[in-house]
Amino acid sequence: MTELTGGPSLPQERRVVTAIPGPKSLELQARRTAAVAGGVGSVLPVFTVRAGGGVIEDVDGNSLIDFGSGIAVTSVGSSAEAVVRRASAQLADFTHTCFMVTPYEGYVEVCEQLAELTPGDHAKKSALFNSGAEAVENAVKIARAYTKRQAVVVFDHGYHGRTNLTMALTAKNMPYKHGFGPFAPEVYRVPVAYGYRWPTGPENCAEEAAAQAIDMISKQVGADNVAAIIIEPVLGEGGFIEPAKGFLPRIAQFAKDNGIVFVADEIQSGFCRTGQWFACEDEGIVPDLITTAKGIAGGLPLAAVTGRAEIMDAAHPGGLGGTYGGNPVACAAALGAIETMRELDLNAKARRIEEVMKGRLAALQEKHGIIGDVRGRGAMIAIELVEPGTKTPNAAAAGALAKACHAEGLLVLTCGTYGNVLRFLPPLVIGEDLLNEGLDIIEAALERI
């Protein structure tokens, strides 16, 4: 049986022994401010020394409950036994050859695993990269090569990365795009079925949003010009928006009917995060291409594009690659992470986290008018904060709540186009006692603000 915490035997407890951040973190923060570019932020400037299971230990001896997983990355924990073991062994054997120079088995094995785990039983192939943004960029390259078309359709509230093309694909200006243009051309944005904020109500949302999106694509872009439609099956940075049921199947069908490559960006929602291997399985969607990263490799940088063999093979030989893509240590880590997900049945763990979280958050929503919506699936759960009695976004409350949680030793993140969503992304291996303790802290913080 794989140990839950893995790596160093880190006590699975919350421990607050200084102010947060503590004196040593403040010292390091001063050095950081002098040496690190101001454009790179940190949610909570406590400097980490160890992390694993459901906790992060800092330089001052504090132990924080982790409801962030390094933005949905360390689903198996930050030092999972199988990840550490396999990556360490690989590190000792060789660090790098460049797969484009001399290949190695780990890369192939990760691609085989991706073919097995992703939806659909058609022939599949994969290509590996370093970051989510790079995977999305390559999905666009592949779709363009396959369709010989140029346009790319994305959605309101979508997030796909910070490189030039993926900034163009990302919806939100601040902080991702502001002042960084000009952006890549041939990118078109259409509405998404955001039930909570749909003007005519959630019941009509899927139907109306799909009709509007399809009309815009058909009339403004021309379906024949579209290479790819890219969507996150649960929108992450945009606010943990689950498109209203029925929307995704309609868009996928429209893509199919018009020879458009349907790309599911599962970089945040994939690898057991929502209680299924991939979130698009929830409505039985079989994407043509799927982009993955984050959870795939237990914290090491790895990303992939996986899809129909004939689409993946459309790029000419030598047309895809990069020096580090599919680095052997990252591949070894991925095989360890996938092994852990299977062994510990992390899909079941994610569903249990949803049960615990949603139960308690729904009760809090009854009591607190500032909680407008509780949503998400698995261990990808959020509360959207509003001015009580309205749907006016309340970013101040989200910020204050996050701050109050941090002070008590609970790491939470915010998100959302309006900055008013508090999101919870615990490692899937977190113990239920820590999960409940984290929720106690949120409950107490809500009472206070």
Residues that bind ligand PLZ (CB under 6 A): 71, 131-133, 136, 159-162, 232, 236-237, 265, 267-268, 293
Place of tokens 């698995």: 378
As measured in angstroms, the least distance from the Cβ of 11 to ligand PLZ is: 29
Q: Looking at beta carbons only, is 320 or 439 nearer to ligand PLZ? A: 320
Q: If we measure between CA atoms, which residue out of 381, 347, 109 comes closest to residue 242?
A: 381
**Separation between Cα atoms, residue 28 and residue 364, nearest integer Å:** 37
**Separation between Cα atoms, residue 170 and residue 404, nearest integer Å:** 30
Q: Looking at beta carbons only, is 159 or 278 nearer to ligand PLZ? A: 159
As measured in angstroms, the least distance from the Cβ of 69 to ligand PLZ is: 11
As measured in angstroms, the least distance from the Cβ of 321 to ligand PLZ is: 17
Q: Looking at beta carbons only, is 320 or 370 nearer to ligand PLZ? A: 320
Local structure of 278: helix, strand or coil: coil
What is the separation, in whole angstroms, between the first and last Cα of the chain? Answer: 43
Q: Looking at beta carbons only, is 265 or 373 nearer to ligand PLZ? A: 265
Residue 235 is inside which H or E element, if any? none
Torsion of CA 264, 270, 275, 280, to 10 degrees: 10
As measured in angstroms, the least distance from the Cβ of 78 to ligand PLZ is: 16
Q: Looking at beta carbons only, is 22 or 247 nearer to ligand PLZ? A: 247
**Separation between Cα atoms, residue 340 and residue 352, nearest integer Å:** 17
For residue 17, the one-letter residue type is V
Tokens of 294: 């984050």
Determine the angle formed by the axes of helices 328-343 and 81-93, rounding to 10 degrees: 160
As measured in angstroms, the least distance from the Cβ of 160 to ligand PLZ is: 5
Burial category of 121 from C-beta neighbours within 10 Å (exposed 0-12, middle 13-18, buried 19 and up):
exposed
Q: Looking at beta carbons only, is 22 or 287 nearer to ligand PLZ? A: 287
What's the DSSP call for residue 285? -
Q: What residue is closest to ligand PLZ based on CB?
A: 132
As measured in angstroms, the least distance from the Cβ of 203 to ligand PLZ is: 27
State the CB neighbour count (10 A cutoff) for residue 64: 26
As measured in angstroms, the least distance from the Cβ of 269 to ligand PLZ is: 7
What's the DSSP call for residue 402? H
State the CB neighbour count (10 A cutoff) for residue 356: 15
271: number of CA atoms within 13 Å, CB side? 32
As measured in angstroms, the least distance from the Cβ of 295 to ligand PLZ is: 11
For residue 96, the one-letter residue type is H
As measured in angstroms, the least distance from the Cβ of 130 to ligand PLZ is: 8
Q: Looking at beta carbons only, is 329 or 386 nearer to ligand PLZ? A: 329
Q: Looking at beta carbons only, is 81 or 134 nearer to ligand PLZ? A: 134
Place of tokens 């109306």: 208
The answer to whether 62 and 20 have CB atoms below 8 angstroms apart is: yes
Place of tokens 């991925």: 334
The answer to whether 300 and 76 have CB atoms below 8 angstroms apart is: no
Q: Looking at beta carbons only, is 301 or 431 nearer to ligand PLZ? A: 301
**Separation between Cα atoms, residue 46 and residue 29, nearest integer Å:** 8
Q: Looking at beta carbons only, is 136 or 398 nearer to ligand PLZ? A: 136
As measured in angstroms, the least distance from the Cβ of 19 to ligand PLZ is: 26
Q: Looking at beta carbons only, is 237 or 288 nearer to ligand PLZ? A: 237
As measured in angstroms, the least distance from the Cβ of 175 to ligand PLZ is: 8
DSSP codes, 251-264: HHHHHHHTTPEEEE
